[in-house]
Every structure is written in C-alpha cells, then in structure tokens.
C-alpha cells in the first residue's frame, strides 16, 4: 500500500505541524488586519458621525454597504483565485483593500463614505472564502474545524487589538490638524499595503509547489486529500456549478451563516456605541478597553469549541448551541440596559457564542463540496450570508432611530440566531454528510493500521 494513502502517525503529525507553522501565522495576521479595516468604522463613529452629520440609520447603511460590494464580487473572486493562484490573488486583494482603507480617512460627507465603503467591500471580496478554500488544499477533514477556528481567532483578536488602539487614537492623535477619527482609517489601513509583499514571498499555491515539504510528507498529504475527495464524490456525487452557486444545500447553509453575520456586524459596528451609552463617565479609551473583554474571551473559547467538535466529529450541535446562547443573551440585553456589569457579562455571552460557531460551521460545506464546486460553493455561502452585514447594521440603526432605543434591534438579531439554530439541527443532508465523514475517518484509520502492520 502507498504511503500516500495510509501512512503512519509520525509523518502525518510532522507534515501538519510544518504546514501550520508555515502558513497559519501570516493568514491570521492578514485576517486581523482585514477585520480591523472593515470594522474600525464602529470606533470612528464615536466622533465621525457628529462631524459629518450622520444619523444612526445612515451610519448603519454606510457601514453595511461594505457587505454589498463584498456580495457582488465574492464568487468571481474565488474563481479567479483558482485561475491565477492563491499567492498572487491574495496579495492583490491585500493591496487594493489597504489603499481604499487609507482613503476612507479623507471622506468629506456621507455620500463619499458610502462610495468608499462599497469599494472596500469590492476590494476585499474573496479574501475570506479564498483562505477557507486554500486551507482545504492543505488540511484533511478531521483537522479542519480547529484549523479554521485557529485562523478565525483573528476576528476577536482584531477587536482586542483595535479597540484600545482606536480609543487611544481618538483621544490623543490629532497630527497635522487632521481629525483623530480620520487617523484611525489611515494608520490602520497601511499594514495591508505593506504586507502585500510578505504574502507574495511566504504563500505557496498548493502542496505540490511547497519546496519545504519532503517527498513522503507530500505523498501522505496528497493521498489523504484524494481519498477524502473520492469518498465525498461517492456519497454525494459531483456538485454542479449551479448547485454550488445556489443549490438548496448551499442556500440553507447561507441562511444559517447569514444569521451569524447579522449578529457579528451589529456587534462590530454598534458595540462601542452601546458601551459608551451605558455610562456618561467613560472616555473613548475606556470604551476601547472595555470592548476588548468579550472578544478576548471569545478568542480562547472558539478554539476550544472547534477542538471539541473535531474530537467528537459532531458539527450540527456545535453550531446550534452557540447560536441559542447568542439568541438568549441578545433577548436579555434590554432588561439590563442600565447595569454596566450585567450588560458586559451578556455581551461576553453573545460575543463568545457567535464566534464559537465559526470552526464547526465551515466544516459543514467541505463535507460535500469538492474541486471547482468548493470554490463556488464556499464563496456563494459567504457572499449570500454576508448580506447580513448590510441588513443587520442598517436594520439595527433604523430601528434605533425609529424607537430611540437599541432594544428592538437586539430582539430582531436574537430571533435570527434562534431560527438559525433550529435550522442547522434539522437539516437532513448535514446529518448524512457527518455520517459519511465519520465513516471516512474510520476507513482512513483502518488503512493506517494495515499499512503499519504490513511491510511495503
């Protein structure tokens, strides 16, 4: 039997360890910068909204327009990545979004801000699904939830880094007579431009081009991935372009992820304003430091939750339970609006719950999507779902303007999370895909045992 298919544990462990240390640190740093550049508008709003005369519903609209541009160009972006290669395409995305992020600091009115936010979404479109697809080139299914969760630790870490930094900039940086909120965009956009050249040097398109992998390591990895692909095709068949783009399974997963996106972007854009509204005694710097608390806890828990999902091989409830927790926390927020401590604890529950879904969720589509279908399907799920990044903030802002309170917006987000939890548990094809993956893992373990016991 070839070592490509059934190999010993030492080769597998050494290969995966080498890949993780080679590609994950850079991808995590890039995603931290990506989320900072799309979400820092939430902190800038503490002073920008007054300077530019922006109302709550206008802020929700312009903040959410990022997701519209993202939605329109995400699937084409992922297809182009397959054509030109991950290395060059990810570098292109980095450079263009960095330039546009910096230019956001020079807008003069709400119309210019709306245009630049849409362009930022177009520029960054494809980065996240490109990375998720890229990770499937390097990691077997049984490793995928924890690897995705490790990568996506970047999201809460982005807020842990950006929140106190943005608060400090607002309070202390007024260089060259330029308003401090403008420096948030300028200073936090530059790293994406600079890291373009690092990405071109470090990233490799796929394992076949990785000179830093030994021949037996490549053989094990490629053989394992090919065996997994064969098992998926046998169970689910080849998924056509149209079914990958808008099939019932893709649309169902997009709806689940949409609910998560509504919650994520409402948190990203409105949490600083919610916290600032809890006490008139808080400075911008204090708001920044308080905002880091929920995200710091989320960064730790999401990795633990993904590891538990990988260990048990269970995905549905590992997505549903956090969504239920987020829904309950959001529903309780209005009852404790005047209590800073309880409100902060609820924000911890909501933030931790929403972020915990990432690793287990992104293991679901890879259970049945392969090849070009995976490129299209992953991008389609993410682009459709990220419309929640427009609907959530815009709807939240509109409800806040109409009612004078955050309560109705929090209730609406709560309902979307609870509906998504019920949907993910009830999907039959997810249960079938989980069973297929578990059987494939058992078959791979059996092959490994046979290979170890039988001389080559």
Q: pLDDT higher for 371 or 380?
A: 380
For residue range 295-348, what is the model confidence (pLDDT) as tens digits?
899 999 998 998 898 888 788 899 999 999 999 999 998 888 778 889 889 999
Rounded distance between C-alpha atoms, residue 139 and residue 224, angstroms: 9
Task: Supply the pLDDT for residue 317.
Answer: 92
What is residue 326's predicted lDDT score, i.e. its pLDDT?
94
Share of the chain above pLDDT 90, in %: 38
In tens, the pLDDT along 74-92 reads: 778 877 887 888 899 999 9
Is pLDDT above 80 for 60? yes
pLDDT at 4: 39
Q: How confident is the model at residue 221 (pLDDT cuts 50, 70, 90)?
A: very high
Reply yes or no on whether the pLDDT at 99 is more than 90: yes
The Cβ-side half-sphere exposure at 317, using a 13 Å CA radius, reads: 5
277 falls in which pLDDT band (50, 70, 90)?
Answer: confident
Q: Residue 41: its pLDDT value, please?
A: 92
Contact (Cβ atoms closer than 8 angstroms) between residue 5 and residue 224? yes
Q: What is the pLDDT of residue 5?
A: 40
User: What is the pLDDT at residue 83?
Assistant: 83
Give residue 3's pLDDT: 40
% pLDDT > 70, the chain: 88
- Structure-token match 């936010």, residue found: 117
Q: Is the pLDDT of residue 2 over 70?
A: no
pLDDT attached to residue 456: 47
Report residue 38's pLDDT band, with 50, 70 and 90 as the boundaries: confident
Largest CA distance in the chain: 75
Output the average pLDDT for the chain: 84
Distance CA(138)–CA(204), nearest Å, equals 11
Q: Which domains does the chain have, with CATH numbers?
A: 9-205+236-448 (1.20.1250.20)
Q: Say which residue, 101 or 439, is predicted with more confidence.
A: 101
Taking the CA atoms of 140, 142, 143 and 144 in sequence, report the sign of the dihedral they define.
positive
Question: Higher-confidence residue: 243 or 6?
Answer: 243
Look at residue 84 in the predicted model and tell me its pLDDT: 86
DSSP string for residues in 354-391:
HHHTHHHHHHSGGGT--HHHHHHHHHHHHHHHTTHHHH
Mean pLDDT across 175-195: 95
Nearest to 383, CA basis, from 76, 166, 52: 76
So what's the pLDDT on residue 7? Answer: 41
Residues 132-171: tens digit of each pLDDT: 888 988 998 788 778 988 898 898 898 889 889 998 999 9
DSSP-based three-state secondary structure for 101: helix
Query: Between 371 and 290, where is the model more confident?
Result: 290
Confidence of residue 249 (pLDDT cuts 50, 70, 90): confident
* pLDDT score of 367: 65
Residue 446 has pLDDT above 80, yes or no: no
Point out the least confidently predicted range of 40-54, 273-287, 299-313.
273-287
């Amino acid at each position: 039997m070839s070592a490509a298919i059934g190999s010993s544990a030492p080769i597998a462990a050494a290969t995966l360890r080498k890949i993780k240390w080679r590609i994950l640190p850079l991808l995590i740093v890039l995603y931290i910068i990506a989320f900072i550049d799309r979400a820092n508008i939430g902190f800038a709003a503490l002073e920008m909204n007054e300077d530019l005369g922006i109302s709550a519903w206008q802020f929700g609209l312009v903040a959410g327009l990022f997701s519209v541009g993202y939605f329109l160009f995400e699937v084409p972006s992922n297809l182009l990545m397959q054509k030109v290669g991950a290395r060059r395409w990810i570098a292109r995305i980095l450079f263009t979004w960095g330039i546009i992020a910096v230019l956001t600091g020079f807008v003069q009115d709400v119309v210019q801000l709306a245009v630049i936010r849409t362009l930022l979404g177009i520029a960054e479109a494809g980065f996240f699904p490109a990375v998720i697809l890229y990770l499937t080139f390097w990691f077997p299914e049984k490793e995928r939830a924890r690897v995705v969760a490790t990568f996506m630790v970047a999201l809460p870490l982005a807020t842990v880094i950006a929140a106190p930094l943005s608060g400090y900039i607002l309070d202390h940086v007024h260089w060259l007579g330029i308003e401090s909120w403008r420096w948030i965009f300028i200073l936090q956009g530059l790293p994406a431009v600079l890291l373009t050249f690092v990405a071109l040097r470090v990233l490799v398109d796929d394992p076949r081009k990785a000179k830093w992998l030994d021949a037996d390591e490549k053989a094990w990895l490629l053989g394992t991935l090919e065996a997994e692909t064969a098992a998926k095709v046998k169970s689910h068949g080849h998924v056509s372009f149209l079914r990958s783009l808008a099939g019932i399974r893709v649309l169902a997963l997009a709806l689940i992820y949409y609910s998560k996106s509504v919650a994520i972007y409402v948190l990203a854009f409105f949490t600083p304003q919610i916290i600032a509204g809890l006490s008139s005694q808080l400075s911008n710097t204090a708001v920044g430091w308080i905002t880091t608390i929920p995200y710091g806890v989320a960064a730790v828990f999401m990795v633990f939750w993904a590891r538990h999902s990988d260990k048990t091989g269970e995905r549905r409830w590992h997505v549903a339970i956090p969504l239920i927790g987020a829904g309950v926390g959001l529903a309780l927020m209005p009852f404790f609006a005047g209590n800073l401590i309880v409100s902060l604890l609820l924000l911890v529950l909501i933030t931790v719950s929403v972020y915990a879904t990432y690793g287990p969720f992104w293991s679901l589509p890879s259970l049945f999507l392969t090849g070009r279908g995976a490129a299209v399907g992953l991008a389609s799920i993410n682009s459709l779902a990220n419309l929640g990044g427009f609907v959530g903030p815009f709807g939240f802002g509109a409800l806040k303007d109409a009612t004078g309170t955050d309560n109705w917006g929090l209730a609406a987000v709560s309902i979307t999370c609870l509906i998504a939890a019920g949907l993910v548990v009830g999907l039959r094809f997810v249960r079938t895909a989980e069973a297929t993956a578990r059987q494939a893992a058992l078959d791979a373990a059996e092959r490994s045992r046979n290979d170890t016991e039988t001389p080559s």
